[in-house]
Structure 1
Amino acid sequence: MTPSAPPAAGVRTPWEDLPHLVRDALAHVLGTPVTHAETQPGGFSPGVAARVRTVEGRRAFVKAVSAETNPHSPDFHRAEARNAAALPPTVPAPRLLGTYDDGTWVALVFEDVPGRQPHVPWREAELRPVLDAVTELSRTLTPCPVPTAPPAAESLAETFDGWRHLLDTAPAPTPAVDPWAAANLPRLAELAAPWPEATAGDTLAHADLRADNMLLTPDGRVVFVDWPHALRAAPWFDLLLMLPCVRAQGGPDPEEVFTRHPLGREADPDAVTTALAALAGFFVEHSLRPAPPGLPTLRPFQQAQGDAALAWLRTRLGPGRA
């Protein structure tokens, strides 16, 4: 399948544009000043994302953002710092080394994990170990080891009612909405309505698994990065959220992958369908919003995921219900 999603990319801030005060603070975290920084591609942060090396040869990964670039991004970095610090050492995620927060700039320093993002379009030889790693991640994080992680019903309360929002606010379906979805808005809103109960569980979910949020290491591991959205949900929730993106980036049919996957086989089919309906509504409704500052490809990326999620939902509903 040809990818339909644009690259997952924000407008990166060069390392050199960091204020001297921030760079001095990061030098304190690392022990010596940074002498080399290489901006990393992929991901929706509009700030700095760079592998760095210090005077003494120490390596790290630094991400930093200013409220002036995007007013919401600093809060995401703060949430990621809290979540990363609370993750058990058994979780395949980079260790947090330190932070800086002056109220405007927020910077995080992580260990540098040798590795690369999976290829897009997805390749079967890379997707297979990622799917295995998602299984292991769910097992490792059940029961939820982070007591402060919010349940999905709380964390997603403002975002997972997309169909209801479209139904209540749109005087007529916009041409950008899939014709089948536009004709079935009341039904989709009703189908998705019980999503808080459907997604409930005691697994810590990453809740944003995409190709640009994982690294394949030379020794065969899969390391999951970027944890600002972590929440408590059903064991299969991460798999469900990931597969529309995989499909939009040239991967296989999500229904086939989900039903063959250990987490999918153990899931309540009705709960999965309800959660998928809510996920599709989230992507579709958000794709219609104006682009956030510094994130020009976010809305087209969400539209591609919405298209994939809708197609998957129609498959699950079957010919008699789609």
Structure 2
Amino acid sequence: MAHMTLTAPPAGGVRTPWEHLPVHVRGAVANVLGAPVIDAATQRGGFSPGVAARIRLADGRRAFVKAVSAEANPDSPDMHRTEARNAAALPETIAAPRLLGTYDDGTWVALVYEDIVGHQPHVPWREDEFHRVLDAVNDLAHALSPSPVEAPTVAQRHAEAFRGWEQLIAAGDTHSVDPWARRRLPELAELAAPWADFAAGDTLAHGDLRADNMLLTDDDRVVFVDWPHASLAAPWFDLLVMLPCVRAQGGPDPDEVFTSHPLGRDADPRGVTSVLAALAGFFVQQARRPAPPGLPTVRAFQYAQGVAALEWLRKRLRKSRRKQR
């Protein structure tokens, strides 16, 4: 597998140790599980701030806990609430951890999941693990088509976020934008404008597939975690959103992967380019914003994804122009 340089920093939110959780929250988790917690190990990786810990109970069982308050990040409690609703609604046959229970006192939100024994894909990506994930993404899309749960459409979820090029034009400040993109802002905005029509569908998309949102198990499963961004979309939407991140983490050429993958090869090429343009605009615009509380590396991560998405977009536009000649 041909690799590019790894450009994305490690995904990392500011973790709160289990021991620093308020006593009443730790007690509530124990009540959800019906046994005292005797040991906890903070887990690294991923962009959610707050607590992310594997815990061991007095009766020998294990679980995984995510907990956050608005103090860590003002948006995170609502994201945890959305994730809880999505996780609770997913059928047990889906490759996702089972939600065992929740706690929400209006300030602290805690989610308690079954503990999945596995590891995140290695970064830079390894060929065997990458192909395993590609197969699992295909299986996930088929298992979630049509969506077995209610969710917002992809247009509803990303209506504002995917207007990145328009927002850059309106702001008039493009000093840090890639020169190729800066010269083509109106063209890119026009290209991205109909993205929602092309991305529409009845598949439940995870919406944020990255190496740190996957666990590879010893029995060859791929388990997809963290579901706050789920939406109804085209079956190929998850694959498209994932590939710039894969590229930024040392993976292969995204266009070659997408066009040869079962989910991507039959997709409308014009639609794929439009959605990719919107995604690239999102990453470029987001990377220029100040880092949100508790997420110090997220902007550099989005910048690397934006570079990879623009590289992919340029390649698709060059191929399209050659075909038109």
Same fold by TM-score greater than 0.5:
yes
User: Match of 1:100, as an amino acid?
Assistant: Y
Cα distance between partner residues in 1 of 2:134 and 2:265: 13
User: TM-score by structure 1 length?
Assistant: 0.98
Structure 1 match to 2:314: 314
Comparing 235-244 with 310-319, greater Cα deviation is found at 310-319
Match of 1:141 in 2: 144
Structure 1 residue 56 displacement after superposition: 1.1
Deviation at 1:321, TM superposition (A): 5.0
Question: Aligned equivalents of 1:240 and 1:257: distance in 2?
Answer: 10
* Letter matched to residue 62 of structure 1: V
SS in structure 1 opposite 2:263?
helix
Equivalent pair of 1:201/1:235 in contact (CA under 8 Å):
yes
Q: Which amino acid letter does the alignment assign opposite residue 125 of structure 1?
A: D
Instruction: Summarize the Cα distance change of 1:184–1:321 in structure 2 as closer, same or farther, 3 Å threshold.
Output: farther
> 2:77 matched to which residue of 1?
74
Q: Following the alignment from structure 1 to structure 2, what is the Cα–Cα distance between the partners of residues 119 and 2?
A: 14
Q: Is the 8 A contact 1:30 1:58 kept in 2?
A: no
Provide the secondary structure at the position in 2 that maps to 1:37: strand
Deviations, residues 35-57 of structure 1 (Å, cap 9, x unaligned): 11011111001110011001111
- 1:136-215 alignment, distance < 5 Å: 136-147=139-150, 149-170=151-172, 172-174=173-175, 176-215=176-215
Distance 2:229 2:93 in 1: 19
Deviations 1:120-161 (Å, cap 9, x if unpaired)?
0000010001000000000000001112x0001101012000
**Aligned-partner SS, 1:49:** strand
What is the distance in 2 between the residues matched to 1:186 and 1:68?
Answer: 39
CA deviation after TM superposition for structure 1 residue 33, in Å: 1.4
Q: Does 1:114 align with 2:114?
A: no
Shift of 1:7: 0.4
What is the distance in 1 between the residues matched to 2:202 and 2:141?
A: 10
Within 5 Å, which residues of 2 pair with 1:42-57?
A: 42-57=45-60
How many Å separate the matches in 2 of 1:141 and 1:266? 18
1:23-102 matches, cutoff 5 A: 23-102=26-105
Letter in 1 for 2:8: A
TM-score by length of 2: 0.97
Q: Does 1:262 align with 2:265?
A: no
Q: 1:188 to 1:53 in 2, by over 3 A?
A: same
Q: State the secondary structure of the residue aligned to 2:264.
A: helix
- The residue aligned with 1:227 is 227
SS of 2:26's partner is helix
- After TM superposition, give the deviation of residue 320 of structure 1 in Å: 7.4
Superposition deviation, residue 198 in structure 1? 1.0
Shift in alpha-carbon separation, 1:68–1:79, aligned structure 2, 3 A: same
Letter in 2 for 1:159: A
Which 4+ residue blocks in structure 1 deviate beyond 3 angstroms? 319-322
Shift of 1:89: 1.2
Deviation of 1:217 after TM superposition, in Å, equals: 0.1
Q: How many Å separate the matches in 2 of 1:127 and 1:247? A: 11
- Report the CA distance shift for 1:319/1:196 in structure 2 as closer, same or farther (over 3 A): closer
Contact 1:200 1:232 in 2 (8 A): yes
Aligned ranges for residues 119-130 of structure 1 at < 5 Å?
Answer: 119-130=122-133
- Name the amino acid aligned to 1:92: A
- Contact 1:60 1:112 survives alignment (8 Å): yes
Contact residue 13 and residue 46 of structure 1 kept, 8 A:
yes
SS at match of 1:114: coil
Aligned to 2:220, what secondary structure does the other structure show? coil
**Contact 1:162–1:284 (Cα < 8 Å) also in 2:** yes
Letter in 1 for 2:209: L
Count of paired positions: 319
Percent pairwise identity? 71
Equivalent position SS for 1:219: coil
* Cα-Cα RMSD: 1.0
SS at match of 1:264: coil
Name the CA shift for 1:203/1:319 in 2 (closer, same or farther; >3 Å): closer
Q: Which residue of 1 aligns with 2:9?
A: 6
Unpaired segments ≥5 residues, structure 1: none
* 1:246 equivalent in structure 2: 246
CA distance in 2 between partners of 1:9 and 1:137 (Å):
26
Q: CA, structure 1 residues 91+320, in 2 after alignment: closer, same or farther (shift >3 Å)? A: closer
Amino acid at match of 1:250: G
1:265 CA drift (Å): 0.8
